Structure 1
C-alpha cells in the first residue's frame, strides 16, 4: 500500500449535511415566468449536462432551463436570477459540524486536501465564502473542467493540481455520481460517508456497486486515515 499524501472530498452531502432544494428555488422559477415543479423536473433530468457546462454561462444556462420549462424570461430577469440562484444554493448548504475540524486535523498530519464536485456555476461562486475554503489545497469543479464523476479525468485533474499519484490518495464521498467506484478505478482508496442524515439527500447516480469502507462521520474518517502510513 502506497504512503498517503492527500485526502480528496466530495462537497454536497460530504463536507455538507444532506441537501434539499429550499423555497428560494420556487421563487426564482416564478420570477422567470415558470412553474416551479416544471423547472424542478428540468433541473433533475439535466443535472449532469448542466454540471458539465453544456449550456454555457450561468445566465445562458438559466435561460435554457427556463425555456425548457415554458418560460421566456427577459434579460433583466435572467441577470437578477443568477445571483439569486447562488444565494439559493448557498442557503441549501450547511457544512457538517466536524467539516472544519476534520480538514484541520488532516492538514495537521501533513496531508494535502482537495475538493472534487459535480456542480453547476453556483458552487464556485460561493465556496470562497465558506470556512472550509482556506483548508483546501485544490478544488476541481465539473462545470469548469467540462466532465463529471466518474470520468477518470476529474480525479486525475485533482491529483495533478496536488502533485500526487492516485494511489497516494483517499477519496471520501456520499456516493453520488458513481464517485466511489470511479475513484477506485483510477487507483484511489475510496471511503463512503454514510452519515444518518443522508437518507433524504438529493443525489444523482447513486453508487450502489461500491463495497469498500464506510464511516458515519468525518471525525471517524480520521481513525481510518491514521491506519495508513503518511508520506511527508
Structure 2
C-alpha cells in the first residue's frame, strides 16, 4: 500500500470515540454489557432492523421500537424513545482524528467520508461538507459497508479509483471488504497509529496528485 492519493474515513469509532465501547456502556446500564451488540450481530430480527435503518428503509423511531422490543425479550427494561440518543451520548469527537483529516486534506490529498449511519441526526456538530471533499452516507445511498457498492460509490464521489484510495475504519470486516476491491486499508485504533500508517501510504508530496 503506497502511492495513494485519496482517503475515505469512517465516522463512528474513527472521528469519534469507540462505538463498541459506547454499546458496551449502554448495555451495562441495562445489566449486560454484551447484550446490545450480541443482539445486533447474532439475533436475526435485530440484525435486520439495523440493516434496514442503516440503509435508509426505516427511520430512527422504527429502529428504536423494534430494537427495544428485542432487548425487552432478552430481559432488559427499556423504553424505545431515546434509545439511539442514549447510545450516541457516549460518543464524543476525537480532536486528533479531526486534525488528521484536516492535515491530509491540506497536504493536497482528497478526503471523503464513508459512513454507516445510526440515528436521524448522528452527525450533529460536524460540518461534514467543510471537512470533506465528498460525503457518502449509507442511509442516503441505500447500501452500507461492507457492501461492494458502498465503497465504489464512495470512491466515485471522491473522484478516485479504488486503487488510489485508502479506507480508514474501526471494523476489521469493513477493511477486509475494501481491500478486496483494491483499496488500501487501515484498521483504526487510535489517531497516532493511524497517522503512522497513513502518511507513508500516501503519494509523496511534490508529485502530481491528480
TM-score by length of 2: 0.72
Q: Hey, what's the Cα distance between the residues in 1 that align with 2:174 and 2:208?
A: 24
Instruction: Select 2:198's aligned residue among 218, 221, 230.
Output: 221
Summarize the Cα distance change of 1:96–1:221 in structure 2 as closer, same or farther, 3 Å threshold.
farther
Aligned to 1:10: 10
Deviation above 4 Å: which 4+ runs of structure 1?
Answer: 22-26, 35-39, 226-230
Q: What is the 5 A alignment of 1:62-73?
A: 62-70=64-72
Q: Secondary structure at the match of 2:123?
A: helix
Two-structure CA RMSD over aligned residues (Å):
3.6
Cα displacement string for residues 30-75 of structure 1 (whole angstroms, at most 9, x for unaligned residues): xxxxx6659725345434751442761211111222333447xxxx
Aligned length: 196
1:173 paired residue among 169, 172, 187:
169
Change (3 A) 1:23 1:106: closer
**Aligned mates of 1:22, 1:175 — CA distance in 2:** 14
d(CA) in 2 for partners of 1:3, 1:224: 6
Note if 1:152 corresponds to 2:148: yes
Q: CA deviation at 1:11?
A: 2.0
Q: 1:194 to 1:227 in 2, by over 3 A?
A: farther
Asked if 1:56 corresponds to 2:62, the answer is no
Q: How does 1:59-138 map to 2 (within 5 A)?
A: 59-70=61-72, 81=81, 84-122=82-120, 125-130=121-126, 134-138=130-134
Using the alignment, how far apart are the partners of 2:86 and 2:107 within structure 1? 35
Partner Cα separation in structure 2 for residue 96 and residue 148 of structure 1 = 23
Instruction: State TM-score, norm by structure 1.
Output: 0.66
Q: Are 2:186 and 1:191 aligned?
A: yes
